[in-house]
Amino acid sequence: MNYKNLKFSRDTHNNFIGVLRKRVGNYFETNNISKFGNAHMVWKTIILIAAYFLPYGLMLAGVVTNIWIMLACWMVMGVAMSGIGFSIMHDANHGAYSKNQNVNKYLGYIINLVGGSSVNWKLQHNVLHHTYTNVEGVDEDIDPGILMRLSPHAKHYKLHRIQHIYGWFLYTLMTFLWITTKDFRQLFRYREMGLTKTQNINFGWQLVKLTLSKVVYYTIFLVIPLLVLPIAWWQTVLFFIIMHMVAGFILAIVFQPAHVMPTTQFPIPDSDGNLENDWAIHQLFTTTNFSPNNYLLNWYVGGLNYQVEHHLFPTICHVHYKKLSKIVRETAQEFGLPYHTQPTFAKALWLHAKMLKQLGKPDLVVA
């Protein structure tokens, strides 16, 4: 299904999103606060960027020479890499970090310093995932290729029967794929889809910038350590890979339980491309919150445990999601709509694992 042919219902369910937006707007107006980031965001940005670059600097400066402490440094960088993605890059590329769009633009580029592509990310995440959440063939977040089946509408293969076992290892490869082939394959695919044209992206120039950003990334985080660190070359390469495995695993176990869950739906359009609900209600049926009372988790994952609020208001900084969640939940209940949430992160992961197992069964095939 071509994303251009998809159409959301015009039945606004008694104007749920209109009422909700008015209430959220009143919250910011009444409390006289901005919907963008605040001092909390600035301090978080400093802490996470320092956690990423400080271990790197200590190793290159020769302060850290013990092989096991070096391994710990690379792993800390992996944890920080994920945190930067969750809390800084994510808000910036949604235009939610600051009211100054230049700040958003340049902080959004930080994904390039962790091996990704800000342009590709915006196309995949902002345009496709946030619009057509859980729609098979359009939302690439539920399309990891033939090795895993994350939608009941995807083709079933025999190996999927044990995906609930091996899938966790595949999750560790998420960012490793970004830094190798995925960004290039995506860019060519988006050109074929016409997405680069509709988003006013010059394909040739973007390909050049993407190639250069990869060269810079590999130079900084692999070539220079290979030349400077007083350890065997294979140990540096191994530690680099471990860093990405740590980051990939953390990213996956936060994003996947938000949508691939027994409680969420995987809407399928009719033959004319019509979806059952309007966009806002579609988000409620396809998204799940988790661990709403865990302060440390909320801080680290950039409020992405409040996925419902994020999907309904992606241009509002995540520091406000906890307060907005009460408004969203009460409004959804008032309109008789679902508001999916799991009490703990562990419960969300357990249910996601169960969903992987269910999707691995050949009898769970929806035409």
Residue 364 placed within a domain? no
Domain span at residue 120? Answer: 3-359
What span, in angstroms and rounded, lies between the C-alpha atoms of 364 and 46?
46
Q: Is residue 251 within a helix (H) or strand (E), and if so which, with residue range?
A: helix 233-255
- Predicted local distance difference test score (pLDDT) of residue 367: 38
Domains held by the chain: number = 1
Could you list the beta-strand ranges (E) of 114-166. none
DSSP string for 32-45: T--SS--HHHHHHH
- Predicted local distance difference test score (pLDDT) of residue 272: 86
DSSP string for 162-188: GHHHHHHHHHTTHHHHIIIIIHHHHHH
- Predicted local distance difference test score (pLDDT) of residue 366: 45
Residue 238 placed within a domain? yes
Q: What is the pLDDT along the chain (367 residues), one digit of tens a residue?
A: 677 788 998 876 678 999 999 999 999 999 999 999 999 999 999 999 999 999 999 999 999 999 999 999 999 999 999 999 999 999 999 999 999 999 999 999 999 988 889 999 999 999 999 999 999 999 999 999 899 999 999 999 999 999 999 999 999 999 988 899 899 999 999 999 888 998 999 999 999 999 999 999 999 999 999 999 999 999 999 999 999 999 999 999 999 999 999 999 999 998 888 898 999 999 999 999 999 999 999 999 999 999 999 999 999 999 999 999 999 999 999 999 999 999 999 999 999 999 999 999 987 554 3
Residue 366 placed within a domain? no
Residue 367 placed within a domain? no
- Predicted local distance difference test score (pLDDT) of residue 1: 60
What span, in angstroms and rounded, lies between the C-alpha atoms of 301 and 270?
36
Q: How is residue 115 annotated by DSSP?
A: T
| Other residues' Cβ atoms within 10 Å of the Cβ of residue 367 | 5
Residue 293 placed within a domain? yes
346, two tokens: 């562990």
Residues 330, 306: contact at Cβ < 8 Å? no
- Predicted local distance difference test score (pLDDT) of residue 24: 97
Q: To the nearest 10°, the Cα dihedral for 35, 40, 46, 51?
A: -110
Residue 44 placed within a domain? yes
What span, in angstroms and rounded, lies between the C-alpha atoms of 362 and 270?
23
- Predicted local distance difference test score (pLDDT) of residue 296: 95
- Predicted local distance difference test score (pLDDT) of residue 306: 97
| DSSP helix/strand/coil, 342 | strand
- What single-letter amino acid sits at 217? Y
What span, in angstroms and rounded, lies between the C-alpha atoms of 117 and 136?
23
Query: Which residues sit opposite 342 in a β-bridge?
Result: 290
- Predicted local distance difference test score (pLDDT) of residue 364: 58
Residue 287 placed within a domain? yes
What span, in angstroms and rounded, lies between the C-alpha atoms of 97 and 287?
22
Residue 365 placed within a domain? no
Kindly give, in sequence order, each residue whose CB lies less than 8 Å from that of residue 10, ignoring residues fewer than 6 positions away: 278
Q: How is residue 141 annotated by DSSP?
A: G
